[in-house]
């Protein structure tokens, strides 16, 4: 089975994770795909295939030659809950430019998707415009297992190759329960990036914040001087945040405060933010901006804590963990070039399981999947990426025989 066939099969599974779930994995439906992946790994001939308590799936290709470092390849099975991931309807089309009608009345064009200019002349996998596609990160899974199939068939010299398909990456819990000792690799790569050729070893430092606004509900006919409308109070709070520190107004190394969800009533409202910056000190500044805004609102209510803020750190920039092992980057660059792709090293404006794994002691930079517009209804991936990445991963693994 090709990486393309695998990918089209995997996206038929609804595996969205859930931010505020108290279970592990956050949604049990992720385990349905996990069971399918275990069967496939066993059929391919991988050894020590298993699922841990968090739903993470592992397998390995044992070393056939001594003295070669053990290398891991990591992807994640969950998809973002930003838009629907249920009943995905992928289709392949040949793109020669211009707008793409995904469904009647749903058109994808370069005004919303400027990356279309980069893929003219290619075959693209798109959705019907009502769901995400799931290339983040089911493309990574397909590419890794296709590479594994090739490596097993060729039987060239290699060290141990560990494979891990994690749950809950999208909600910052992708390495929950990950047993590094049992994984048994010296180095690893996540296959969880965007456009073909992307190579990343810097990512955001990340935190999340839950803002609770405690209102006071009374009948609107007798509300004067008594009601505290949580929604109105929240709008005042949000207006105090800097307008130039949002995702739509930042790029490169610039950080942001991003409002992702609001729900509530007059009596109580909850809002969820994510805070990101490549510089840890600047992330602390973003946290303080949010805390100061809450304090300013509370000062209007005679010291009552009308607004409370709970901040949680999620992950850190992996750069300091990778820099002592820059041969990992050089190997990846060489493997891309061997397959006709010029690598582009850039910071991740997000995070991967590789960041957490790096801080756990497993240096783990990130590689492209080939996909674009993750977390949205215009997500797509060129078929070519699903053909090139397995070859690149195979060559990358073999490069560790060349010490």
Tens digits of per-residue pLDDT, 71-127? 999 999 999 999 999 999 999 999 999 999 999 999 999 999 999 999 999 999 999
359: left (phi over 0), alpha (psi -120 to 50) or beta: alpha
Distance CA 192, CA 133 (A): 14
Q: Would you say the CATH fold of 205-315 matches that of 3-203+317-401?
A: no
14, 52, 60, 78: the catalytic one is 78
Distance CA 185, CA 304 (A): 53
Q: Which residues of the chain are under the pLDDT cut of 70?
A: 403
Looking at residue 352, what is its pLDDT? Answer: 84
Looking at residue 403, what is its pLDDT? Answer: 62
Residues 139 and 381: beta-carbon distance below 8 Å? yes
Report helix, strand and coil shares of the chain as percent, to nearest 5: 35, 25, 40
Distance CA 295, CA 306 (A): 9
60, 143, 146, 169: the catalytic one is 169
Would residue 169 show up in a list of annotated catalytic residues for this protein? yes
Distance CA 88, CA 106 (A): 15
Contacts of 207 (CB under 8 A, 6+ apart): 274, 275, 276, 283, 286, 287, 311, 312, 313, 314
Looking at residue 20, what is its pLDDT? Answer: 82
The domain made up of 3-203+317-401 is a member of CATH 3.40.50.460:
no
Work out the mean pLDDT of the chain and round it to a whole number.
Answer: 96
Task: Please write down the long-range contacts of 321-327, taking CB distance under 8 Å and 24 or more positions apart.
Answer: 321/358, 321/359, 321/363, 322/201, 322/358, 322/363, 322/364, 322/365, 323/201, 324/363, 325/187, 325/363
Distance CA 46, CA 58 (A): 9
DSSP 47: E
Distance CA 99, CA 181 (A): 50
- How much is the pTM? 0.87
What ranges do the domains of the chain cover?
3-203+317-401, 205-315
Above pLDDT 90, what percent of the chain? 93
Listed residue (393, 384, 401, 390) closest to 195, CA to CA: 384
Tell the CATH topology of 205-315: Alpha-Beta Plaits (3.30.70)
Listed residue (37, 362, 354, 29) closest to 169, CA to CA: 354
Sheet architecture: strand order including 187-193: 47-51, 57-61, 161-166, 71-76, 187-193, 366-368, 198-200, 344-345
DSSP 309: E
> What phi and psi values does residue 181 have, to the nearest 5 degrees?
-65, -45
């Amino acid at each position: 089975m090709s990486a393309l066939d695998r990918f089209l099969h995997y996206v038929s599974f609804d595996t969205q994770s859930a931010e505020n779930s108290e279970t592990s994995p956050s949604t049990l439906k992720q385990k349905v795909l996990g069971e399918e992946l275990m069967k496939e790994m066993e059929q391919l001939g991988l050894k020590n295939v298993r699922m841990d308590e968090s739903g993470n799936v592992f397998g390995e290709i044992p070393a056939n030659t001594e003295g070669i470092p053990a290398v891991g390849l990591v992807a994640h099975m969950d998809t973002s809950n930003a838009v629907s991931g249920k009943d995905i309807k992928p289709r392949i089309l040949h793109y020669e430019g211009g707008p793409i009608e995904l469904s009647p009345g749903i058109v994808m064009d370069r005004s919303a998707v400027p990356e279309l200019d980069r893929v003219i002349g290619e075959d693209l996998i798109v959705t019907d415009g009502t769901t995400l596609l799931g290339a983040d990160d089911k493309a990574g899974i397909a590419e890794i297992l296709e590479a594994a199939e090739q490596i097993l068939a060729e039987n060239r010299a290699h060290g141990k190759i560990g494979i891990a398909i994690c749950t809950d990456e999208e909600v910052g819990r992708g390495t929950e329960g990950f047993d590094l000792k049992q994984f048994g690799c010296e180095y690893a790569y996540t296959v969880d990036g965007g456009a073909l050729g992307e190579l990343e070893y810097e990512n955001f430092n990340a935190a999340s914040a839950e803002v609770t606004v405690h209102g006071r509900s009374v009948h609107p006919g007798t509300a004067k001087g008594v009601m505290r409308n949580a929604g109105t109070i929240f709008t005042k709070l949000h207006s105090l945040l800097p307008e130039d520190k949002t995702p739509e107004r930042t790029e490169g190394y610039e950080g942001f405060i991003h409002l992702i969800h609001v729900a509530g009533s007059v009596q109580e409202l909850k809002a969820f933010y994510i805070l990101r910056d490549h510089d840890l000190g600047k992330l602390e500044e973003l946290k303080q901006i949010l805390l100061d805004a809450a304090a300013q609102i509370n000062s209007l209510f005679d010291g009552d804590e009308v607004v409370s803020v709970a901040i949680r750190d999620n992950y850190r920039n992996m750069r300091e963990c990778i820099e002592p092992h820059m041969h990992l980057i050089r190997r990846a660059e060489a493997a891309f070039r061997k397959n006709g792709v010029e690598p582009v090293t850039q910071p991740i404006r997000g995070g991967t399981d590789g960041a957490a794994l790096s801080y756990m002691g497993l240096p783990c930079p990130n590689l492209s999947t080939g996909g674009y517009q993750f977390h949205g209804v215009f997500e797509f991936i060129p078929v070519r990426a699903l053909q090139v990445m397995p070859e690149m991963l195979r060559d990358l693994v073999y490069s560790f025989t060349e010490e």
